[in-house]
Structure formats: structure tokens, C-alpha cells
Chain A
Amino acid sequence: DGGITQSPKYLFRKEGQNVTLSCEQNLNHDAMYWYRQDPGQGLRLIYYSQIVNDFQKGDIAEGYSVSREKKESFPLTVTSAQKNPTAFYLCASNGGGTSPLHFGNGTRLTVT
């Protein structure tokens, strides 16, 4: 079955370390997205990519970086510049336009 795979499910890091979250999709979708979820704040867009080798900042891109070298993959790096990185991170994809998003099961990152 097609879907989105995020790994790992749980991730623990020390403050000051960069960490990369993986997101892979086999839905043949052009567009991919990264959202951050905090309790009571809904989903906030970090970065999105509508085509390979191109991506745009979302509402809260500071302290994050991404790459889109392959259609299937859209990894997110949480850098040491991100002031409050502990959160639940969700990757999503769609076929573009107004088609619904398909989500992975998320990565819960804890930084101490």
C-alpha cells in the first residue's frame, strides 16, 4: 500500500545538536510538507516543496532546513538555532492543488 513513512517515531537529542527527521513517500506525489504540532496550537507549516529541487519557507522556518533531491524524500533538519525544538513533527504530501493531504505518523522530538 502507498503511504508516507516517517522515522524514527521517537527521537531524543541534547541541546546544541542538529537532528534530521526522515520522510519518504511512495504515493508519487509532487508536493510535500513539514508541519510542527504543539498542544493547543494546531499545525504550523515549516517548509513545503511543490517540485523536486525546489522548496519554500512556511510560517515558522527559522531554525529548520530541508532538501528535496528526490521526489520520494523530503528530510527535515532541526538545527541548534531552533530555540524550542521539542515538538511533534508531521510530514505530509499531496498531488498538488487542492487535493487532500496524506500524513505520516509523525516523529516526536525531545531535546534536553
Chain B
Amino acid sequence: AQSVTQLGSHVSVSEGALVLLRCNYSSSVPPYLFWYVQYPNQGLQLLLKYTSAATLVKGINGFEAEFKKSETSFHLTKPSAHMSDAAEYFCAVSDYGGSYIPTFGRGTSLIVHP
């Protein structure tokens, strides 16, 4: 069985500050991991995907995430927050145990202050 835990339903940062959104997963087999972003009243868009090719994954809009097997984590970071980064962020895991159907975390709302 697979599951995802996102620590913190809300994260608040100042513009220009480091963004860190946490995601921990559980999976009985090597997982595929995703980060998605959702702007208000819209669907989700893919930010990045981990497929075991490299532990540090670069995504769109300056975001990146690092896969750490020992910590079962896949935290999302961005060196400098922009006002336009304010959105809901979802971590998701997919593995064969679930027929590849992705399981989503509860989401983290990123608030960016001027």
C-alpha cells in the first residue's frame, strides 16, 4: 500500500525567501513521485516527477525536489519565492502495488508575503 504525508497544511514565506514544502511517502516498492501545483479554481499542473534516474529533480518555475530513500522523503524547494508561487501544492506517489494509480497528499497551501 502507498501513502503520502504532507507536513503543514499552510506554509507562509516572504517574497525572496526559501520555499520548503515537505512530503513523506510510504511504499512497499520503489515509488514514482510527483509534485503538482493548483491555482485557485483550476486543475492541477505537473511541477516535476521522480523516476529513479536522478535523486535531484528539476521542475518548472524554478522548483526542484530531492528524493531521499533513507528518509522516505521528496521535499519540494525553491531558492527564492515569488508572489506568483502562491498556490496549493500536492505531492503524489504511484507504485505497482496500486496498479500505478497515484495517491495524493492533502496538499500544502503556500502563502507569499510581499
Contact = CB atoms under 8 A, between A and B. Distances in A.
B106 A101 contact: no
A96 B100 CA distance: 8
A103 B45 contact: yes
Interface residues of A, number: 23
A35 B106 CA distance: 13
Interface residues of B, number: 21
Contact of A45 (B51, B101, B106, B107): B101
Given A106-B41, A108-B41, A42 B105 contact: yes
A19 B54 CA distance: 45
Contact of A106 (B43, B94, B101): B43
Contact of B101 (A4, A40, A48): A48
A106 B32 CA distance: 25
Interface string A19-42: 000000000000001010000111
A61 B105 CA distance: 19
Contacts of B104: 35, 42-43
Interface in A79-99: 90, 92, 96-98
Contact of A90 (B44, B105, B107): B44
A98 B101 contact: no
A104 interface: yes
A47 B42 CA distance: 20
Interface of B: 9, 32, 34, 36, 41-46, 49, 51, 90, 94, 100-102, 104-107
Going nearest first, the 7 A-B pairs with the smallest beta carbon separation are A103-B43, A42-B106, A98-B32, A43-B104, A100-B46, A103-B44, A42-B104
